[in-house]
């Protein structure tokens, strides 16, 4: 609604939109993806197969998708938010019904040419819908209890389904992604105070319910939390991942062992070295310098999103950009915290670096939307 | 709904404020992450580097080469043979069944071996080499090697396995090794890490078991780089360990082979040959025997069943484990006890009327009609029982037992063989503690002719004759040296027995073999410089006297013989027990003589050493020996005949 109040004529049109792209952001994304290709090449023992090459192809496809989305005006995407959410929710229900079982959790749905993870799709769709919701909502009603409840329900529906899969990591990401959009939209501080109190209460409930018939989490989820709190208690059992990961990461030192010289990842001590734990390989081979550089680039991407949002006078565009940037931030922050032993192992990939089709495509779609918001942002008055 | 500009401005500034808060929070979290990186990778890097080294380097044990066992002349009795085997690595093979079928077209592998291999392959990780078949010939291995391109994942391989080149000759003495079992591990408090190696071979019986700590050696180690799945990436360095010590035995292989084969002409027997001066056991022979190599490879259930159910007990080391009533071979000790106590003089005679009456019971002499007047020499020569009934009553069991123990009866010799028996040398205290009953004079009478409670092993009987022959308290010795260090000769000191009395006993034993009324006259050695002295024994298994040929094997008498030679300057003592063989003079004495002659000549003795009337029978015996596959007359010669 708000968009048409601005001077549409000042929005670039046609192929000239390319000039208004957030090119620095794109270059940062390419840098991160490039680091990912290098690491996948390294963990495969110096081979493009089986991971690096498909990953490159997917990134190329992702770039095409990103540009395509960026060319389409942002208001079109805003109108699509409800549809995207609906489809994602339907797919989430779909995996409950016909999903194939992978890693003990139903997360994938086979759509012929690739396996789709609807929870990934939902991460973007939820951000879009809540951003669109606050775009629509009268600014004065933002902190009205009824209008706070609506987005909470919108968040709760997919979270419930994802928890049921069960996928604790994604559920947390959805809650936080949606919550951040609400926070940026200006929901009163009072709610956040109440929420923090509720969060503390939930954690207490989760732990006190353990061992009782109505316990809230799966046993393996409790065990993951246990091993997070004390990985050395079971170094060859469930604490194995964290311990090995820390050894690899720590042994990297200042400058690392050198490209393709990481003994820990080379010798298979690292679990899932090409997916969730790929950061340890990078940290082992390129040391603190490499690991910190990657962190800096990630932070740079997030900062570019924030700057883009602040300079964007369109509520939907700004909120969505902030939401997607925050989701991206949560990905790498949780992943890095996990491999460094600061967070429990929850199965969150390192964005654009970990091997995996769904996550990469969804992120590129997300950045396509960010670019679209950036290109089509209202300028001046 | 129309939004006012003011609303819009409020909204934008609010979003901007909240964005800045969010960005601040995110930077904070990123700062924590960066700080953590610095802490782990810069401050604690050395610690983690160390852990990483430990992670990637793994120690693998190397089994040391097991010590060898030799006979006194350096002939190997137990060696480590190259074991040619064929191994398969599943992940290299691709289609395992396909490859194995192709392998079977090249070399023969039976179905059970194949099944075992397939089971093993499916259990192990795909990169672990699994033995498909072992103990192959060099030809088989070459065939596999030549066809390697058609057999992906298959490699010919060579390892070490225990081999007993003399097969059954030393099955009981040397024993055998086998894969370590859970039971073995449960008996050991502080297990050697080597025992954790799957199928590690340890001594199960005999010298192999008793000298296990010396033979085994010290584990070596390889430091290897492994990955988390345990796959060996490369070897960093290697410590080969310390090979086990070699053990040299006192046995003499040619003699052992002859004795085993000679005994095996009968059904079930044992023989011991001992050097009178040093106590060296030249032969500890048993018949029937078995092939210890079968146990090394893992004996089949049916083969094992055959061995355990065989009534001639091939698994038993009867020479040291068997406890038999010594029968008349015990008589020397009874008369010696009488002489020592001054209760008998050399020319004194006792009348034998065929029996002795004790209370209302008759104790018969083996000769129903009686021997008439007997002096000491004649009593041994003709093995008169009544003479010894009289001696037993004069001396009493406790004094007899005391003397008999000086000659090794009832003593458990400390030899590295399994289950060496102490036998039984009974006395009054023994019977009271064992049966809670008092000793009866009748018990003494039975004991005096080596019956009743007295039990002794062929080893003890050999020690007895060696001590009679030498007058020294010689101890049997089976191990000549360990790792080149000689084991000392023990007991070359004179016994506390009157030498004149011993001479009388030796003379009586001489009469047994070299006077025509002697019970072993036909088994004499017909060479003046090699004359043999000895004593026959026939010990009853049941009390009723029936002709031996009429009763089943299990109920026949044991035939025994002890002796030494040459009479003038004794070198070897021998004892032979033929289980349920009948009379000692017919069943045991000829065997003992043959073994003694072989020992004296160091090879198959010339016929001239035998009495002329016996040569035909001896030729038959030798001919029968030549037919035996386990007899190797041509093998290993100090002096080729």
> In chain A, which residues have their Cβ closer than 8 Å to the Cβ of B52?
247-248, 250-251, 263-264
User: What kind and span of H or E run contains B86?
Assistant: strand B76-89
Residue predicted with more confidence, A380 or A15: A15
Mean pLDDT to the nearest integer, B609-631: 89
Q: Tell me, yes or no, if B19 comes closer than 8 A to chain A by beta carbon.
A: yes
Active-site pick, B268, B289, B328, B383 = B328
Test B42 with A268 for CB contact under 8 angstroms: no
| Same-domain check for residues B202 and B269 | no
Residue predicted with more confidence, B200 or B608: B608
CATH code of residue B141: 3.30.1390
Give me the sheet containing B57-62, strands edge to edge.
B57-62, B220-226, B232-239
Which tokens sit at B552? 């089943």
Q: Which residue of chain A comes nearest to B11, CA vs CA?
A: A139
| pLDDT interval class at B359 (50, 70, 90) | confident
Contacts of B497 (CB under 8 A, 6+ apart): B336, B340, B403, B406, B471
Contacts of A349 (CB under 8 A, 6+ apart): A275, A276, A331, A335, A356, A359
Is residue B541 scored above 90 in pLDDT? no
| Same-domain check for residues B94 and B152 | yes
In a domain, A26, yes or no: yes
Is residue B634 scored above 60 in pLDDT? no
Write the pLDDT tens digit of every residue in A276-322: 888 988 988 899 999 999 999 999 999 999 999 998 888 899 999 99
Is residue A380 scored above 60 in pLDDT? no
Q: What pLDDT is recorded for position B635?
A: 42
| Same-domain check for residues B381 and B460 | yes
Residues of B numbered 294-333 whose beta carbons fall under 8 angstroms of chain A's beta carbons: which are they?
none
Among residues B143, B165, B187, the one where a domain terminates is B165
Q: What pLDDT is recorded for position A264?
A: 66
> In chain A, which residues have their Cβ closer than 8 Å to the Cβ of B18?
183-186
Q: Tell me, yes or no, if B13 comes closer than 8 A to chain A by beta carbon.
A: no
Residue predicted with more confidence, A346 or B507: B507
User: Which of B14, B23, B34 should we substitute to test contact with A (largest number of A Cβ atoms within 10 Å)?
Assistant: B23
In a domain, A280, yes or no: yes
Q: Which residue of chain B comes nearest to A184, CA vs CA?
A: B18
Compute the nearest-CA separation of B197 from chain A (Å): 22
| Same-domain check for residues B439 and B359 | yes
Q: Backbone dihedral region of B261: left (phi > 0), alpha (psi from -120 to 50 degrees) or beta?
A: alpha
In a domain, A200, yes or no: yes
User: Which of B6, B13, B52 should we substitute to test contact with A (largest number of A Cβ atoms within 10 Å)?
Assistant: B52
Q: Angle between the B397-406 and B385-395 helix axes, to the nearest 10 degrees?
A: 100
Q: What pLDDT is recorded for position A186?
A: 86
Q: What pLDDT is recorded for position A229?
A: 65
Q: What pLDDT is recorded for position B177?
A: 93
- Least trusted range by pLDDT, from A4-8, A70-74, A139-143, A170-174: A4-8
Mean pLDDT to the nearest integer, B490-517: 92
* Residue ranges making up the domain that contains A51: 3-375
Q: What pLDDT is recorded for position B641?
A: 36
Cα–Cα distance between B403 and A272 in angstroms, integer?
81
| Same-domain check for residues B218 and B362 | no
Is B328 one of the catalytic residues? yes
| Same-domain check for residues B155 and B178 | no
Q: How many residues does chain A have?
A: 381
Q: Angle between the A74-98 and A145-163 helix axes, to the nearest 10 degrees?
A: 40
For chain B, the distance separating the N- and C-terminal CA atoms, rounded to the nearest angstrom, is 128
Cα–Cα distance between B117 and B90 in angstroms, integer?
11
Mean pLDDT to the nearest integer, B414-428: 93
| Same-domain check for residues B366 and B484 | yes
User: Which of A2, A231, A251 should we substitute to test contact with B (largest number of B Cβ atoms within 10 Å)?
Assistant: A251
User: Which of A267, A307, A335 should we substitute to test contact with B (largest number of B Cβ atoms within 10 Å)?
Assistant: A267
C-alpha to C-alpha distances, B130 to A71, B140, B159, B227, nearest whole angstrom? 61, 18, 13, 20
Cα–Cα distance between A227 and A223 in angstroms, integer?
6
| Same-domain check for residues B263 and B384 | yes
In a domain, A243, yes or no: yes
Nearest to B23 among A252, A288, A303 (CB): A303
Asked whether B214 and B483 are in contact (CB, 8 A), the reply is yes
> In chain A, which residues have their Cβ closer than 8 Å to the Cβ of B11?
139, 186, 315
User: Which of A139, A258, A338, A339 should we substitute to test contact with B (largest number of B Cβ atoms within 10 Å)?
Assistant: A139
Q: What pLDDT is recorded for position B240?
A: 77
| pLDDT interval class at A112 (50, 70, 90) | low
Nearest to A342 among B8, B18, B36 (CB): B36
In a domain, A381, yes or no: no
Q: Which of A149-158, A215-224, A263-272, B50-59: highest mean pLDDT?
A: A149-158
DSSP labels for B246-274? PEEES--HHHHHHHHHHHHTSSSEEEEEE
- Least trusted range by pLDDT, from A76-85, B4-13, B106-115, B143-152: B4-13
User: What kind and span of H or E run contains B89?
Assistant: strand B76-89
Among residues B136, B165, B194, the one where a domain terminates is B165
- How many domains, chain A? 1
Backbone angles phi, psi at B607, to 5 degrees: -60, -25
Which tokens sit at B275? 């050097």
Q: Tell me, yes or no, if B546 comes closer than 8 A to chain A by beta carbon.
A: no
Nearest to A288 among B14, B42, B52 (CB): B42
Is residue A166 scored above 60 in pLDDT? yes
| Same-domain check for residues B146 and B192 | no
Cα–Cα distance between B596 and B615 in angstroms, integer?
16
Cα–Cα distance between B170 and B180 in angstroms, integer?
21
Q: What pLDDT is recorded for position A381?
A: 46
Reported as half-sphere exposure (CB side, CA atoms, 13 A), residue B55 has a value of 28
Q: What pLDDT is recorded for position B11?
A: 79
In a domain, B640, yes or no: no
Torsional sign, CA B100, B102, B103, B107: positive
Q: Tell me, yes or no, if B145 comes closer than 8 A to chain A by beta carbon.
A: no
Compute the nearest-CA separation of A291 from chain B (Å): 8
| Same-domain check for residues B370 and B275 | yes
Compute the nearest-CA separation of B31 from chain A (Å): 9
Q: What pLDDT is recorded for position A2?
A: 47
**Cβ count near A229 (within 10 Å):** 10
CATH code of residue B583: 3.40.710.10
Q: Environment class of residue A41 by beta-carbon count within 10 Å: exposed (0-12), middle (13-18) or buried (19+)? A: buried
Pick from B360, B318, B347, B389: nearest CA to B576: B318
Test B45 with A250 for CB contact under 8 angstroms: yes
Pick from A18, A185, A4: nearest CA to A79: A4
Q: Environment class of residue A147 by beta-carbon count within 10 Å: exposed (0-12), middle (13-18) or buried (19+)? A: middle
Nearest to B26 among A139, A270, A329 (CB): A329
Contacts of B258 (CB under 8 A, 6+ apart): B594, B595, B598, B604, B625, B631, B633
Test A250 with B47 for CB contact under 8 angstroms: yes
Over chain A, what is the mean pLDDT?
A: 83
> In chain B, which residues have their Cβ closer than 8 Å to the Cβ of A140?
7
Q: What pLDDT is recorded for position A292?
A: 94
Which tokens sit at B293? 């190599």
Q: What pLDDT is recorded for position A102?
A: 46
Compute the nearest-CA separation of A142 from chain B (Å): 10
Task: Indicate the pairing of strand B69-70 with strand B232-239.
Answer: unpaired
Which tokens sit at A250? 């720590």
| Same-domain check for residues B422 and B509 | yes
Is residue B128 scored above 50 in pLDDT? yes
Q: What pLDDT is recorded for position A371?
A: 93
**Percent of chain B surpassing pLDDT 90:** 55
Pick from B80, B77, B204, B67: nearest CA to B484: B67
Cα–Cα distance between B14 and A315 in angstroms, integer?
11
Backbone angles phi, psi at B85, to 5 degrees: -140, 165
Test A295 with B34 for CB contact under 8 angstroms: yes
Cα–Cα distance between B559 and B578 in angstroms, integer?
5
Q: Is B474 helix (H, G, I), strand (E, B) or coil?
A: coil
Pick from B322, B353, B352: nearest CA to B462: B322
In a domain, B270, yes or no: yes
Write the pLDDT tens digit of every residue in B225-252: 766 555 667 777 777 788 999 999 999 9
In a domain, B25, yes or no: no
Nearest to A283 among B41, B44, B233 (CB): B41
Test A2 with B49 for CB contact under 8 angstroms: no
In a domain, A193, yes or no: yes
**Percent of chain B surpassing pLDDT 70:** 93
Residue predicted with more confidence, A23 or A265: A23
C-alpha to C-alpha distances, A137 to A73, A134, B4, B18, nearest whole angstrom? 21, 5, 13, 17
Cα–Cα distance between A255 and B38 in angstroms, integer?
12
Nearest to B23 among A249, A288, A306 (CB): A306
Compute the nearest-CA separation of B179 from chain A (Å): 30
Cα–Cα distance between A151 and A378 in angstroms, integer?
26
In a domain, A380, yes or no: no
Cα–Cα distance between B585 and B512 in angstroms, integer?
10
| Same-domain check for residues B485 and B339 | yes
Backbone angles phi, psi at A2, to 5 degrees: -70, -25
Q: Tell me, yes or no, if B126 comes closer than 8 A to chain A by beta carbon.
A: no
Asked whether A124 and A84 are in contact (CB, 8 A), the reply is yes
Among residues B165, B181, B209, the one where a domain terminates is B165
Rg (CA), chain B: 36
Q: What pLDDT is recorded for position B97?
A: 85
Reported as half-sphere exposure (CB side, CA atoms, 13 A), residue A278 has a value of 28
Contacts of A261 (CB under 8 A, 6+ apart): A285
Size of interface A-B (CB pairs under 8 A): 152
Reported as half-sphere exposure (CB side, CA atoms, 13 A), residue B198 has a value of 4
Test B52 with A263 for CB contact under 8 angstroms: yes
Q: What pLDDT is recorded for position B548?
A: 63
* Residue ranges making up the domain that contains B417: 253-298+318-627
Q: Tell me, yes or no, if B82 comes closer than 8 A to chain A by beta carbon.
A: no
Q: Environment class of residue B122 by beta-carbon count within 10 Å: exposed (0-12), middle (13-18) or buried (19+)? A: exposed
Q: What pLDDT is recorded for position B60?
A: 67
- How many domains, chain B? 3
């Amino acid at each position: 609604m708000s968009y048409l109040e601005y001077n549409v004529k000042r929005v670039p049109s046609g192929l000239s939109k390319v000039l208004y792209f957030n090119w620095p952001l794109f270059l940062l994304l390419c840098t991160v993806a490039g680091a990912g290709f290098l690491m996948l090449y390294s963990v495969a023992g110096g081979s493009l197969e089986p991971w690096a090459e498909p990953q490159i192809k997917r990134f190329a496809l992702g770039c095409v998708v990103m540009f395509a989305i960026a060319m389409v005006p942002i208001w079109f995407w805003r109108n699509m938010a409800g549809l995207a959410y609906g489809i994602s929710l339907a797919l989430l229900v779909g995996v409950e019904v016909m999903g194939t079982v992978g890693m003990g959790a139903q997360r994938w749905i086979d759509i012929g040419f690739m396996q789709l993870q609807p929870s990934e799709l939902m991460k973007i769709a939820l951000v879009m819908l809540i951003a669109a919701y606050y775009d629509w909502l009268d600014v004065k009603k933002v902190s009205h209890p009824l209008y706070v409840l609506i987005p909470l329900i919108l968040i709760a529906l997919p979270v419930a389904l994802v928890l049921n899969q069960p996928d604790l990591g994604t559920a947390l990401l959805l809650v936080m992604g949606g919550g951040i959009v609400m926070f940026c939209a200006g929901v009163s501080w009072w709610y956040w105070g109440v929420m923090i109190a509720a969060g503390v209460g939930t954690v207490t409930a989760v732990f006190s319910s353990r061992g009782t018939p109505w316990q809230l989490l799966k046993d393996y989820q409790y065990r993951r939390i246990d091993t997070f709190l004390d990985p050395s208690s079971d170094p060859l059992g469930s604490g194995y991942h964290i311990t090995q990961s820390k050894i690899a990461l720590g042994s990297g030192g200042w400058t690392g062992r050198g490209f393709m010289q990481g003994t820990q990842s080379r010798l298979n001590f690292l679990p899932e070295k090409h997916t969730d734990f790929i950061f340890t390989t990078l940290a082992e081979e390129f040391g603190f310098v490499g690991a910190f550089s990657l962190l800096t680039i990630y932070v740079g991407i997030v900062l570019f999103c924030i700057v883009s949002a602040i300079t964007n006078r369109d509520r939907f565009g700004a909120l969505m950009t902030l939401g997607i940037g925050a989701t991206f931030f949560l990905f790498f922050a949780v992943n890095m915290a996990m491999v460094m032993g600061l967070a429990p192992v929850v199965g969150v990939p390192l964005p654009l670096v970990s091997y995996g089709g769904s996550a990469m495509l969804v992120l590129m779609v997300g950045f396509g939307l960010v670019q679209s918001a950036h290109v089509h942002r209202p300028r001046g008055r | 709904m129309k939004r006012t500009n003011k609303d819009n401005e409020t909204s934008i500034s609010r979003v901007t404020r909240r964005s800045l808060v969010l960005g601040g929070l995110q930077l904070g979290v990123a700062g924590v992450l960066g700080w953590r990186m610095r802490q782990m990778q810069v401050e604690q890097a050395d610690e983690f580097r160390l852990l990483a080294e430990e992670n990637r380097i793994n120690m693998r044990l190397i089994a040391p080469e097991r010590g060898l066992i030799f006979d006194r002349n350096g002939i190997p009795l137990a060696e480590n043979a190259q074991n040619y085997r064929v191994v398969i690595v599943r992940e290299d093979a691709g289609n395992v069944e396909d490859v194995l079928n192709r392998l079977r077209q090249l070399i023969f592998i039976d179905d059970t071996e194949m099944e075992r291999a397939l089971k093993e392959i499916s259990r192990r990780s795909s990169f672990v080499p699994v033995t498909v078949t072992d103990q192959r010939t060099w030809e088989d291995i070459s065939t596999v090697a030549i066809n390697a391109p058609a057999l992906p994942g298959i490699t010919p391989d060579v390892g070490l396995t225990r081999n007993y080149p003399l097969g059954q000759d030393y099955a009981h003495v040397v024993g055998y090794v086998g894969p370590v079992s859970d039971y073995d591990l449960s008996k050991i408090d502080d297990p050697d890490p080597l025992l954790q190696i799957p199928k590690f071979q340890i001594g199960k019986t005999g010298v192999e078991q008793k000298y296990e700590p010396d033979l085994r050696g010290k584990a070596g180690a390889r430091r290897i780089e492994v990955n988390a799945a345990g796959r060996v990436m490369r070897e960093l360095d290697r410590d080969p360990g310390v090979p086990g010590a070699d053990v040299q035995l006192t046995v003499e292989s040619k003699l052992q082979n002859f004795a085993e084969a000679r005994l095996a002409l009968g059904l079930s027997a044992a023989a011991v040959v001992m050097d009178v001066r040093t106590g060296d056991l030249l032969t500890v022979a048993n018949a029937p025997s078995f092939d210890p190599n079968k146990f090394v490879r893992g004996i089949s259930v049916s083969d094992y069943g055959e061995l355990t159910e065989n009534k001639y007990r091939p698994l038993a080391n009867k020479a040291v484990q068997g406890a038999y009533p010594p029968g008349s071979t015990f008589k020397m000790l009874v008369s010696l006890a009488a002489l020592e106590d001054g209760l008998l003089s050399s020319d004194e005679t006792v009348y034998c009327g065929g029996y002795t009456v004790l209370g209302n019971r008759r104790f018969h002499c083996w000769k129903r009609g009686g021997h008439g007047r007997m002096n000491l020499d004649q009593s041994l020569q003709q093995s008169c029982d009544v003479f010894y009934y009289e001696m037993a009553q004069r001396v009493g069991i406790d004094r007899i037992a005391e003397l008999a123990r000086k000659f090794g009866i009832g003593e458990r010799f400390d030899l590295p063989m399994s289950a060496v028996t102490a036998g039984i040398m009974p006395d009054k205290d023994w019977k009271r503690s064992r049966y809670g009953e008092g000793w009866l004079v009748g018990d003494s009478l039975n004991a005096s002719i080596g019956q009743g409670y007295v039990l002794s092993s062929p080893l003890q009987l050999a020690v007895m004759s060696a001590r009679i022959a030498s007058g020294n308290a010689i101890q049997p010795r089976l191990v000549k040296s360990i790792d080149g260090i000689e084991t000392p000769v023990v007991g070359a000191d004179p016994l506390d027995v009157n030498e004149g009395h011993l001479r009388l006993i030796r003379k009586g034993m001489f009469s047994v073999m070299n006077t025509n009324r002697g019970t072993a006259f036909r088994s004499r050695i017909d060479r003046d410089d090699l004359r043999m002295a000895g004593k026959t024994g026939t010990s009853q298994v049941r009390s009723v006297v029936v002709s031996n040929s009429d009763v089943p094997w299990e109920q026949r008498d044991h035939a025994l013989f002890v002796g030494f030679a040459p009479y003038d300057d004794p070198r070897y003592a021998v004892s032979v027990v033929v289980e349920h063989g009948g009379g000692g003079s017919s069943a045991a004495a000829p065997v003992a003589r043959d073994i003694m002659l072989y020992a004296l000549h160091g090879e198959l003795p010339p016929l001239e050493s035998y009495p002329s009337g016996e040569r035909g029978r001896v030729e038959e015996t030798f001919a029968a020996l030549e037919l035996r596959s386990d007899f190797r007359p041509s093998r290993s010669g100090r002096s080729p005949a």
